[in-house]
Amino acid sequence: MKIYNIDDAEKFLDTIKQCKGSVELISKQGDRLNLKSELTKYLALSKLFNDDAFINEMELIASDPDDVKLLVDYMMMGK
């Protein structure tokens, strides 16, 4: 799934923390980074937010269908 226009990193990370299964960020090179890992989460997102503290687009894979619903709800209402 693609997520667009993330401007509140804290709220986004709180949503990821609520997910039951793994949530992976797909890098531009095709690498999968586990956002449930604290170290990976902060390294990956610090690079994404490095320039302007705003993410236009990111691709995520959620392993649990309930997590997909949670992320869709975030995109629709949680920004």
User: What mean pLDDT do residues 51-78 have?
Assistant: 84
Assign 31 a pLDDT band (cuts: 50, 70, 90).
Answer: confident
pTM: 0.76
| Rounded Cα–Cα distance for residues 75 and 38 (Å) | 22
Amino acid type, 8: D
Share of the chain above pLDDT 70, in %: 81
Q: Where along the chain do its domains lie?
A: 2-74
On the question of pLDDT at 68 being above 80, the answer is yes
SS3 category, 4 = strand
pLDDT for res 19: 95
On the question of pLDDT at 18 being above 90, the answer is yes
Separation in Å, CA 59 to CA 6, 14, 32, 50: 12, 17, 10, 18
The answer to whether residues 44 and 25 touch, using CB atoms and an 8 Å cutoff, is yes
Phi/psi for 20 (5° steps) reads: -80, -40
